[in-house]
């Protein structure tokens, strides 16, 4: 009897102690608008002040990168680069310099499917304006003569970027959200946040796990059903980044014209409807979600298999078929 009492007391004490050692993590969330996208962030923490600071840091990371890379703001660094095309090199921040450097590296690795000189072509289509429309073929052909990204001149010592021909227009829309995501995650880690989720319009990063210790789950939108989920993916400490022809588009004569351009002909790429990349770097995942979309399901998946950094990739076609890397199943959740 006495023994039993001691055991019960010990158990009570133990449960109490363990309760003290692990204060409950509470979910704090915040939604904000940046980079033309609603961004949703959740942070788990036992410390409310820290959680608020962490959410502030995430918001600041997106606002900062937005300010630097917004082509439609006259005083952004990207505007300075574009205004000085054919005139002079422009001194930039380390963030813009390294975004451009990484983008150019992966342009080559994707055989030019990723091309940050697509800005002029984007403008001809009117993406970013209120009235997008199909441009004249001659105008597209003319704009394509100024998209040779190999001509971009970087000077690492002086941190300058130079577009050597007048009319060249740089657009970082395919990489900036991923880059901002990496910056936000770095800030969270520095603050000691271990569990969080950032979703910038399908540009997701999952840090640690959910409050109950199970992995964060990420629904991949069905490209042809705004309410539907095509697959549920899960992961820990990884970017899970999607691009799709459903994110920004207009329709004319029954054809969907969207914002991911095939640099080979200046038209919206047709072979894919959605792509998702799972890998540690959100910057590169963002680049690849755009460029593998251009490559299409067969070539795109083949290329993804060649990159060691890529953990898994998935491409959905307009008729709803799913193409994936060999290990895609390892990341598929039950739902």
Binding site for ligand AMP (CB under 6 A): 114-116, 118, 122, 171, 173-174, 243, 247, 259-261, 263, 286, 289-290, 294
Closest to 285 (Cα-Cα) out of 218, 225, 195, 189 = 218
Question: Distance between CA 124 and CA 6 in Å, rounded?
Answer: 80
Nearer to Mg ion, 85 or 259 (CB): 259
Nearer to ligand AMP, 195 or 243 (CB): 243
Tokens of 242: 């999607």
Tokens of 235: 């992961």
Angle between helices 282-295 and 297-306 (to 10 degrees): 140
155-160 contacts at long range (C-beta below 8 A, 24 or more positions apart): 155/89, 156/97, 158/89, 158/91, 159/91, 159/92, 159/93, 159/94, 159/97, 160/89, 160/90, 160/91, 160/92
Nearer to Mg ion, 266 or 274 (CB): 274
DSSP annotation of 307 reads: -
Question: Distance between CA 38 and CA 202 in Å, rounded?
Answer: 10
The minimum distance between CB 51 and ligand AMP, in angstroms, equals: 28
300 binds, among Mg ion, ligand AMP, none (CB under 5 to 8 A by kind): none
Cα 281-285-291 angle, rounded to 5 deg = 150
Cα 200-105-129 angle, rounded to 5 deg = 45
Of the residues 119, 132, 174, 244, which one makes contact with Mg ion according to CB under 5 A: 174
Kindly state the number of chain residues that form the binding site for Mg ion, as judged by CB under 5 A: 4
* Residue bearing tokens 């460029």: 291
Nearer to Mg ion, 55 or 239 (CB): 239
Nearer to ligand AMP, 25 or 272 (CB): 272
Task: Sort 332 into a burial class: Cβ within 10 Å, 0-12 / 13-18 / 19+.
Answer: middle
171 binds, among ligand AMP, Mg ion, none (CB under 5 to 8 A by kind): ligand AMP
Nearer to Mg ion, 43 or 176 (CB): 176
116 binds, among ligand AMP, Mg ion, none (CB under 5 to 8 A by kind): ligand AMP
Task: Answer yes or no whether residue 107 interacts with Mg ion by CB under 5 A.
Answer: no
Q: Which residue is nearest to ligand AMP (CB)?
A: 173
Of the residues 77, 286, 303, 316, which one makes contact with Mg ion according to CB under 5 A: 286
Task: Answer yes or no whether residue 290 interacts with Mg ion by CB under 5 A.
Answer: yes
Nearer to ligand AMP, 146 or 259 (CB): 259
Task: Answer yes or no whether residue 291 interacts with Mg ion by CB under 5 A.
Answer: no
Within 10 A of 168 (CB to CB), how many other CB atoms are there? Answer: 22
Quick check: helix, strand or coil at residue 148?
Answer: coil
Task: Answer yes or no whether residue 208 interacts with Mg ion by CB under 5 A.
Answer: no
The minimum distance between CB 241 and Mg ion, in angstroms, equals: 7
The minimum distance between CB 265 and ligand AMP, in angstroms, equals: 11
Of the residues 115, 209, 289, 325, which one makes contact with Mg ion according to CB under 5 A: 289
Q: Which residue is nearest to Mg ion (CB)?
A: 290
Nearer to ligand AMP, 99 or 261 (CB): 261
Question: Distance between CA 147 and CA 150 in Å, rounded?
Answer: 9
Task: Answer yes or no whether residue 119 interacts with Mg ion by CB under 5 A.
Answer: no
Task: Answer yes or no whether residue 110 interacts with Mg ion by CB under 5 A.
Answer: no
Tokens of 109: 């690795």
* Residue bearing tokens 């998209």: 147
Nearer to Mg ion, 197 or 239 (CB): 239
Beta bridge partners of 324: 314
The minimum distance between CB 191 and ligand AMP, in angstroms, equals: 27
- Asked if 233 contacts 217 with a C-beta cutoff of 8 angstroms, the reply is yes
- Interactions with Mg ion, residue window 245-284 (CB under 5 A): none
Site residues for Mg ion per CB under 5 A: 174, 286, 289-290
């Amino acid at each position: 009897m006495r023994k039993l009492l001691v055991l019960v007391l010990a158990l009570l004490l133990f449960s109490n102690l363990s309760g003290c050692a692990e204060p409950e993590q509470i979910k704090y969330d915040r939604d904000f608008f940046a980079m033309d996208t609603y961004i949703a962030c959740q942070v788990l923490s036992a410390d409310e002040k820290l959680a608020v600071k962490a959410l502030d840091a995430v918001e600041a990371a997106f606002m900062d990168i937005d300010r630097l890379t917004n082509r439609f703001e006259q005083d952004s660094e990207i505007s300075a680069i574009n205004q000085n095309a054919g005139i002079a090199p422009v001194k930039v921040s380390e963030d813009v310099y390294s975004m451009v450097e990484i983008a150019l590296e992966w342009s080559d690795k994707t055989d030019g499917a990723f091309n940050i000189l697509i800005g002029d072509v984007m403008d001809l289509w009117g993406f970013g304006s209120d009235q997008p429309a199909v441009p004249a073929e001659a105008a597209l052909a003319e704009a394509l003569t100024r998209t040779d990204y190999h001509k971009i001149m970087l000077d690492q010592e002086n941190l300058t970027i130079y577009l050597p021909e007048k009319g060249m227009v740089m657009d970082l829309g395919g990489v900036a959200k991923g880059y901002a995501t990496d910056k936000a995650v770095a800030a969270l880690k520095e603050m000691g946040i271990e569990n969080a989720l950032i979703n910038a319009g399908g540009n997701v990063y999952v840090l640690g796990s959910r409050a109950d210790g199970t992995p964060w789950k990420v629904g991949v939108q069905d490209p042809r059903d705004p309410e539907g989920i095509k697959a549920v993916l899960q992961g820990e400490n990884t970017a899970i980044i999607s691009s799709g022809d459903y994110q920004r588009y207009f329709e004319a004569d029954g054809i969907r014209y969207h914002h991911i351009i095939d640099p080979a002909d200046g038209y919206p790429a047709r072979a894919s409807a959605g792509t998702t990349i799972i890998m540690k770097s959100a910057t590169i995942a963002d680049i690849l979600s755009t460029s593998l979309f251009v490559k299409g399901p067969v070539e795109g998946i083949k290329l993804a298999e060649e990159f060691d950094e890529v953990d898994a990739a998935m491409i959905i076609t307009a008729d709803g078929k799913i193409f994936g890397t060999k290990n895609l199943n390892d990341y598929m959740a039950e739902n």
